Amino acid sequence: MFSEYLFRKIDNSPLVIFRILFGLLIVAECWGAIFTGWVNANLVEPKLTFTFIGFEWLNNLLGPNMIYYYGIMGLLGIFIAIGGLYRFAIISFAIMWSLSYFMQKTSYNNHYYLFMLVSWMMTIMPAHQFFSIDSLIFPKLKRLTCKNWVRVLFIAQLFIVYTFAALQKLYPDWFNGVFLNQHFVNYEYILSSKYQLNGLAQIVGSLEFSQVIAWLGFFFDLLIIPAMLAPRTRGIAIKCAIFFHLFNSVIFGIGIFPFFSLAMMIFFYDPIKVQELFFKTKSFMMDRNDEDGLINTRRIAFSYLVVFYIIWQIYLPVRHLHIPGNVFWTEEGHRLSWRMMLRKKSADVHVYVSIPDKNGKYQPREKVNLSNYLTYKQEKRFAISADMIWQFAQFVKADYDKKGIKNVKVFVDSKVSINGSSYYQYTNPDVNIAAMKWSYFGHQNWLKNKPKELNLSYLY
């Protein structure tokens, strides 16, 4: 039954329109990253990056060549949009984007992750079989339909993203407006000092305004997908989505994510209506599809793969539940979990090394000059996350190893503030972190427990 539902034939107009929009968004993202200086700041200037653990070898790609790397990805976006050499373009982009994603965590952004997931989804989708250069050059390739699993995958992915974005907000500092208020007080200053809009400035900078926005954001994330699925509420839902995402784009400056999310909304609409709007002369009933006789076992196997993917996507955002400690404090289980715009962290960090003498006796600790290794942005970010702290300890130890100084001990004294709180001890400053093994699926014992003073009780 489920397999038959996934393989039901539908008009491929939404997929074609999304392919064009996705390609253009790739161009905007990649070339925009070059022209805004993002690539230079994150992948050219740094001596090292905080890769995902296990991908440290990607540091070999750092440098001026990353400008060309992103330039090529933008060019691939053009080929994807026009449907030219589509399979080559989308597979190449998916590989290159994945490598760039795993290359750095300093500027981690959830839409980079969503971009990667959708890129790989698009590698198996027949998005180039209509209104494309490929179908123009190779007429036998042309199709007017695709299978329903295409639509199901996109809708399921969006449901997971928005639902968990809502659930992750279930903690006090979201609903009491404390987190958001830190952003809006900046706009209060701008409105009053630059535009002399004192009345509006007082409203925007008030805690009550932040609380209203916080509750609206929660209910939007929780209800937008069910509302888009229901024909009666779809019209108002898409208007709310447009307003919500444009508001976020202007206020929080989160790049192309708002437009990317809106582009994916096309899969909630009846494919026939999309066809009638964009391709008036097309009729999917005239389609010849050679895959109609596909062996049932292959369909069933693919159906299981779809189910497994959805289950895996549901597991990742809740994996922190089997890791001791509070995820807001430890950051263990934070990434790949749609934890978007939830907290503001800062750290006061000092790193020390202890060097053994010829007799193996360790000398008093010496303070490490962080600027010898890290950019200013990296210094501000690495000390709030356990995996980045652990990686930096390994970087320092490896650097001393290259100098011929073996068995150096590395100590990290990090104190962290969350949402403007006082600074609390985050790491155990007496643990040689360079000697610790990384626990991939568990808790790092050298992290201090969450202070009782911090009200970060997680509600699910």
Per-residue pLDDT tens for 125-172?
Answer: 999 999 999 999 999 999 999 999 999 999 999 999 999 999 999 988
Tell how strand 409-418 and strand 9-11 pair up: unpaired
Between 442 and 286, whose confidence is greater? Answer: 442
pLDDT at 114 over 50: yes
Across 181-190, 208-217, 345-354, least confident range: 181-190
Side chain identity, residue 288: R
Q: How confident is the model at residue 295 (pLDDT cuts 50, 70, 90)?
A: low
Residue with structure tokens 């919500």? Answer: 244
Across 64-73, 287-296, 302-311, 405-414, least confident range: 287-296
Q: How confident is the model at residue 291 (pLDDT cuts 50, 70, 90)?
A: low
* For range 334-345, the mean pLDDT: 90
pLDDT given at position 261: 95
Residue with structure tokens 């997680």? Answer: 458
* C-alpha–C-alpha distance, residues 414 and 431, integer Å: 12
Averaged pLDDT of the chain: 92
Query: Quick count: other Cβ atoms within 10 Å of Cβ 442?
Result: 11
pLDDT at 353 over 80: yes
* For range 275-291, the mean pLDDT: 73
pLDDT given at position 456: 67
The helix/strand/coil state of 104 is coil
pTM given for the model: 0.94
Task: Tell me the helices (H) and strands (E) count for the chain, helix number first.
Answer: 19, 6
* For range 97-120, the mean pLDDT: 95
pLDDT given at position 427: 97
Q: How confident is the model at residue 232 (pLDDT cuts 50, 70, 90)?
A: very high
Of 182, 198, 151, 165, nearest to 6 (Cα)? Answer: 151
Q: How confident is the model at residue 36 (pLDDT cuts 50, 70, 90)?
A: very high
Q: How confident is the model at residue 194 (pLDDT cuts 50, 70, 90)?
A: confident
Of 90, 144, 120, 440, nearest to 305 (Cα)? Answer: 120
pLDDT at 56 over 90: yes
Per-residue pLDDT tens for 245-264?
Answer: 999 888 888 888 899 999 99
Residue 346: φ, ψ to 5°: -140, 160
Tell me what percent of the residues of the chain surpass a pLDDT of 90.
Answer: 79
Of 12, 8, 69, 77, nearest to 38 (Cα)? Answer: 69
pLDDT at 242 over 50: yes
pLDDT given at position 418: 92
Per-residue pLDDT tens for 390-432?
Answer: 999 999 999 999 999 999 999 999 999 998 889 999 999 999 9
Per-residue pLDDT tens for 325-338?
Answer: 999 899 999 999 99
pLDDT at 209 over 80: yes
Q: How confident is the model at residue 441 (pLDDT cuts 50, 70, 90)?
A: confident
Q: How confident is the model at residue 460 (pLDDT cuts 50, 70, 90)?
A: very low
Residue 451: φ, ψ to 5°: -65, 145
